[in-house]
Structure 1
Amino acid sequence: MQRLNNNTVQMLADVASLPAYERDAQQAGILHLGIGAFHRAHQAWYTEALLNKGAQNWQIIGASLRSATVKDQLAGQDGLYTIVERGPDGEKFQVVGAVKDVLVGPQAPATLLEAMSHPAIKIVSLTVTEKGYCHDPASGNLNASHPDIVHDLANPETPRSAIGYIVSALNVRRLAGTQSFTVLSCDNLPNNGEVLEKVVLQYADKLDGDLAAWIRANTTFPCTMIDRIVPATTDTDRQELEGKLGLRDEGMVLAEPFSQWVIEDKFCSDRPAWEDVGALLVDDVHAYEIMKLRLLNGSHSLLAYTGYLAGFDYVSEVMREPVLAKLCQVFMDREVGQTVQVPAGFDMEEYKVQLRERFSNPGLKHRTWQIAMDGSQKIPQRWLQTLQAQLEGEGNIDLLCLALAAWIRYVGGTDEKGQSIDVQDPLAAELRSLCEEHHNDPVARVNAVLSVEAVFPPAIANSESVRAITADWLTRIQNQGVLAAVKAVLS
């Protein structure tokens, strides 16, 4: 079977949207760290739309800081790949050409640094997930003992972390007298630009105070809010697409039709006019990101842990279970909805309905296990800020504690049928050890897990009500199972 590439792409003219510009005539203006499926279905998709409208020199050089998987997928395809939009009404296909090249940091760190340092690059963006910031989620500070940070401080010319690459490239710019680039975080973190700026400056201060001062004076870190559900691509998905297109596409990505991107308009260099293709450029992203993190991501994680424990593989299946669909609605309306400030002119009730419809989309095979990954990095933003707000306002915390109990049950490593769970989390070993140590005592297990300082701030860890309600939920889940425990309360 032929591969999708520059020579074969015109074969798809009748079934897919194709790039409407001369790719070879474009120069890269963006370098993106962490070129996974989400970036290709979101920021690269917006950029592709802009290139199709005639924008010049905004192609993307992608970079992986871990494996060569994406490079291997796209190298034989001249950087082309297909976005498959799956909605309730069927599928749409779009071939994207915005990615000019893919580099692999571990294979050639000097090549990546050289690319980041090139004056044509105006923006360095990143989607490296929460753990890629090498920070303490509870405090937001740089984790100076993180192995990658320890390595990068000792070897700044051959970094491993996104933070190390950014600072080293900025240092090259400083020494060359070249304009700085804007550093654009597109990860699911509240105040993501501020978090990134903080760890970058703390890291730079450890290297060179003058460098840190230059970054403060010349570099900006806009906050963003990103939203699109992008499930992991499987070999079955690739095989199905091959049958529909007649070409093999190793780099395909799946996505729902919905997409949203809110960007703080704070750039120190030129930028694409993303607002011309649907992005929202604003003075303050905060209200949008809090709303999305708490309502969408918070509910998504709740459904992932409770749904996985109850035996559901996909979120759409979870939403077909009336007990868990009701749980999602009450969680949004009560615990979360009471803590969210609504942007002017925004219809919050319609947004919540829309979210539940998106979760229910049968076209997306979004695995509960995938969403459950890296919970120790995600729940501080998705649940704990909401929980803190409810504690301060003496609001309802019952379902937030249920969420914590389901997560604690999950990281224990066995599901309700006694089968092993492949827990993917930076703290997986520590969390599992704590759960096993207190396997027969839910109260002690909750107290032990809530004492993990890398996840839980003291105000939550020391809250008697949080500990008691979470332990009560964990006991019910252990004795009755998730569905029965939730049904007994919601009914």
Structure 2
Amino acid sequence: MTVKLSLATLPDLPANVARPDYDRASLRAGIVHFGVGNFHRSHQAVYLDELLNSGQGHDWAIVGAGVFDGEKAGRARLAEQDWLTTVVEQDSGHMSARVTAAMVDFLMPGDAAAIIERLADPAIRIVSLTITEGGYFIDPASGLFNPTHPDIVADARNIAAPKTVFGIILAGLRRRRQDGIVPFTVMSCDNIPHNGRVTADAVIGLARLVDESFADWVRDTVAFPNSMVDRITPATTDRERGILASDFGVDDNWPVFCEPFKQWVMEDRFTDGRPALEKVGVQFVHDVAPFELMKIRILNGGHATIAYPAGLMDIHFVHEAMENPLVRAFLAKLEREEIMPTVPPVPGVVLEEYCQLIERRFSNPKIGDTVRRLCLDGSNRQPKFIIPTIADRLEAGGGITGLALESALWCRYCFGTTDSGAVIEPNDPNWTRLQATARAAREAPGAWLAMEDIYGEVGKSAPFAAAFAHGLDALWALGTGETLTRYLGDSL
């Protein structure tokens, strides 16, 4: 017998399921969050839930928001259970479930007028974002905001009825300026280098297309703190719903499964206050950049390192990839020889210990993270997690054999078949283009690097182009396993 999750059934939950220590009815909204997905609900919402459980921060509850029709399905699932989420943490020696109640509402995705009205409310003091790496209108080659994107141009022409996240945020700020209300802080929680600056570039860049004086006001009065966020959180499937029902007796439409580890490092820069998150483990620092670079290169770059060889060898789960001696050794060698040397010292962190922690987290057999999820959206992730590392290695005159092989593995994956001949279903917003280019690159490897919007100057480097071509040729001639074997033996 399972208990259907709702506010009314909280008292009926099994004893092994933790539940809120606070009265949800006593909460007041202080945050509007765009991108109510699994990561947000396992990370920011969990930190806030812990703060609320301590008896503090009850005026910092979350209101969900979104801009895409696809987000309506998630909203409907949460609406049926009063916006509650069951968060299950698990690794090889630990499994626990808790119900979080930090969200008090979820505005209809795409209803810009209703969202702008909520953003104009003085009670809302933070707008936070988890809209994925691809949601910031960044030119991959330059790393800068692209003001010519059609969606941005459309919002600039009709900022009163915006369609993008940044247009809605800007419309909300405009209302607050007109009403004499202190602007809210805009807080990115996405895995992007300098995510606060990137967010500021998008909001201010759009504002400049609308009104220069308004753009200057946003620049001078709105805070965009940088942050580093970290927690491995796979997608929810019927597998996770079934485990929750059988092991904990809870029927949840959209539970979140995640690892026990979580981390949040943030600049303490806010326009109108913030929750006392330092009391629940958030680290506030003057400069996030060292932590951010370490995480993006070692963890996110590490994910990319294991994703494509595992995908080509038909490995389904990430922990199974780490059980494969070739994949694990490829990660270890590439991290220590080419990635970690590009990471400057981080206060209070021993990089080798951090790398070992990452390897243990990737090896967690309980998390159920999939290789396909790690392979997703390479056209947005590679320019942020891998290509800058290549650029730094080239500038320093260091070796790039392993990084070139990682890029060749991504190209080979985008061809659309595994080594066994199994079809790889589209796994990138730009899959059609990537697949066509990967097929051309089989005979002419330079075609892949000619995607200047992705590779920029790195693609024009003769040493990198030679190493990439050699790696791609080896993958086609020898297969993934033998290519990795030769790389590991320094004979590629």
- TM-score for both structures, normalised by structure 2: 0.96
Q: Is the contact made by 2:231 and 2:259 (CA closer than 8 Å) also made in structure 1? A: yes
Aligned equivalents of 1:18 and 1:110: distance in 2? 34
Could you tell me which residue of structure 2 aligns to residue 47 of structure 1? 48
1:456 has 2:460 as partner: no
Counterpart amino acid of residue 9 in structure 1: L
Aligned equivalents of 2:180 and 2:268: distance in 1? 25
| Residue identity (%) | 38
From 406, 410, 417, the counterpart of 1:407: 410
Q: Is the contact made by 2:34 and 2:64 (CA closer than 8 Å) also made in structure 1? A: yes
Q: How does 1:268-283 map to 2 (within 5 A)?
A: 268-283=271-286
Counterpart amino acid of residue 89 in structure 2: E
Could you tell me which residue of structure 2 aligns to residue 24 of structure 1? 25
Aligned equivalents of 1:407 and 1:137: distance in 2? 16
CA shift at 1:438, angstroms?
4.1
Could you tell me which residue of structure 1 aligns to residue 486 of structure 2? 488
Could you tell me which residue of structure 1 aligns to residue 59 of structure 2? 57
Deviations 1:197-254 (A, max 9, x none): 1121111000111210110111010000001000111012112212233331012101
Q: How does 1:258-269 map to 2 (within 5 A)?
A: 258-269=261-272
Aligned equivalents of 2:160 and 2:50: distance in 1? 36
1:100 has 2:99 as partner: no
Could you tell me which residue of structure 2 aligns to residue 470 of structure 1? 468
CA shift at 1:480, angstroms?
1.4
CA shift at 1:138, angstroms?
2.2
Q: Is the contact made by 2:66 and 2:165 (CA closer than 8 Å) also made in structure 1? A: no
Could you tell me which residue of structure 2 aligns to residue 166 of structure 1? 169
1:253 has 2:260 as partner: no
1:212 has 2:215 as partner: yes
Aligned equivalents of 1:345 and 1:263: distance in 2? 15
Deviations 1:388-443 (A, max 9, x none): 1111111121111011001111112222122221232232222212223344x1xx
Q: CA RMSD in A?
A: 1.3
Counterpart amino acid of residue 316 in structure 2: D
Counterpart amino acid of residue 46 in structure 1: Y
Aligned equivalents of 2:285 and 2:73: distance in 1? 35
1:80 has 2:93 as partner: no
Aligned equivalents of 1:292 and 1:227: distance in 2? 8
Aligned equivalents of 2:150 and 2:9: distance in 1? 44
From 179, 192, 195, the counterpart of 1:192: 195
From 316, 319, 337, the counterpart of 2:319: 316
Aligned equivalents of 1:271 and 1:424: distance in 2? 38
SS in 1 for 2:18: coil
Q: Is the contact made by 1:133 and 1:162 (CA closer than 8 Å) also made in structure 2? A: no
Counterpart amino acid of residue 31 in structure 1: V
Could you tell me which residue of structure 1 aligns to residue 11 of structure 2? 10
CA shift at 1:151, angstroms?
2.7
Q: Per the alignment, do residues 269 and 137 of structure 1 end up closer, same or farther by CA in structure 2, a change over 3 Å counting?
A: farther
Q: How does 1:206-245 map to 2 (within 5 A)?
A: 206-245=209-248
Aligned equivalents of 2:485 and 2:87: distance in 1? 39
- The runs of 5 or more residues in structure 2 that have no matched partner are none
User: Which stretch shows the higher mean deviation, 358-367 or 109-118?
Assistant: 109-118
Aligned equivalents of 1:382 and 1:140: distance in 2? 12
CA shift at 1:76, angstroms?
1.0
- TM-score for both structures, normalised by structure 1: 0.96
Counterpart amino acid of residue 310 in structure 2: G
CA shift at 1:150, angstroms?
3.0
Aligned equivalents of 2:154 and 2:347: distance in 1? 46
CA shift at 1:452, angstroms?
1.4
Aligned equivalents of 1:292 and 1:423: distance in 2? 27
Q: Is the contact made by 2:86 and 2:256 (CA closer than 8 Å) also made in structure 1? A: yes
SS in 2 for 1:455: helix
User: Which stretch shows the higher mean deviation, 164-173 or 357-366?
Assistant: 164-173
Counterpart amino acid of residue 210 in structure 1: S
Provide runs of 4+ in structure 1 moved above 6 Å. none
CA shift at 1:47, angstroms?
0.7
Counterpart amino acid of residue 474 in structure 1: L
CA shift at 1:482, angstroms?
1.1
CA shift at 1:166, angstroms?
1.3
User: Which stretch shows the higher mean deviation, 419-428 or 263-272?
Assistant: 419-428
User: Which stretch shows the higher mean deviation, 407-416 or 312-321?
Assistant: 407-416
User: Which stretch shows the higher mean deviation, 52-61 or 419-428?
Assistant: 419-428
Counterpart amino acid of residue 91 in structure 1: M
Counterpart amino acid of residue 62 in structure 1: G
Counting matched residue pairs gives 485
Q: How does 1:101-116 map to 2 (within 5 A)?
A: 101-106=105-110, 108-116=111-119
- The runs of 5 or more residues in structure 1 that have no matched partner are none
Q: How does 1:437-448 map to 2 (within 5 A)?
A: 437-439=440-442, 441=443, 444=444, 446-448=445-447
CA shift at 1:118, angstroms?
1.1
Deviations 1:425-483 (A, max 9, x none): 232222212223344x1xx2x3112121221122x011011111011111111111111
CA shift at 1:158, angstroms?
2.7
Counterpart amino acid of residue 88 in structure 1: S
Aligned equivalents of 1:198 and 1:177: distance in 2? 24
From 48, 71, 76, the counterpart of 2:75: 71
Aligned equivalents of 1:269 and 1:457: distance in 2? 39
Deviations 1:151-204 (A, max 9, x none): 322332332222111111111111111110110011111111111111211110
CA shift at 1:2, angstroms?
4.8
Aligned equivalents of 1:437 and 1:488: distance in 2? 25
Q: Is the contact made by 1:64 and 1:70 (CA closer than 8 Å) also made in structure 2? A: no
Q: Is the contact made by 2:441 and 2:448 (CA closer than 8 Å) also made in structure 1? A: no
CA shift at 1:40, angstroms?
0.3
Could you tell me which residue of structure 2 aligns to residue 144 of structure 1? 147
Q: Is the contact made by 2:14 and 2:248 (CA closer than 8 Å) also made in structure 1? A: no
Q: Is the contact made by 1:90 and 1:363 (CA closer than 8 Å) also made in structure 2? A: no
